[in-house]
Amino acid sequence: MSKFELFKGTNGQYYFRLKAENGEIIAHSEGYTSKQGAQNGIAAVKRCAPIAPVVDLT
């Protein structure tokens, strides 16, 4: 099952990444100054991703 991982970087900022079932990272966040900010980012991805359009910029 895919999962979000929430972690604190060596720079003191909070990040999250989304990992696929095979363990590969498929998305990585920007740095957040607070844990709550990173948790809000996860919530936004969960809420918005199912309806986000794909824009082909190739």
pLDDT at residue 57 in the model: 97
What pLDDT band is residue 33 in, cutting at 50, 70 and 90?
Answer: very high
pLDDT at residue 56 in the model: 97
Bridge partner list, 5: 17
- What is the rounded average pLDDT for all residues in the chain? 97
pLDDT at residue 29 in the model: 98
The pLDDT tens digits for 8-32 are 999 999 999 999 999 999 999 999 9
d(CA 50, CA 43): 12
Of the chain, the percentage scoring pLDDT greater than 90 comes to: 97
Q: Compute φ and ψ for 6, nearest 5 degrees.
A: -105, 130
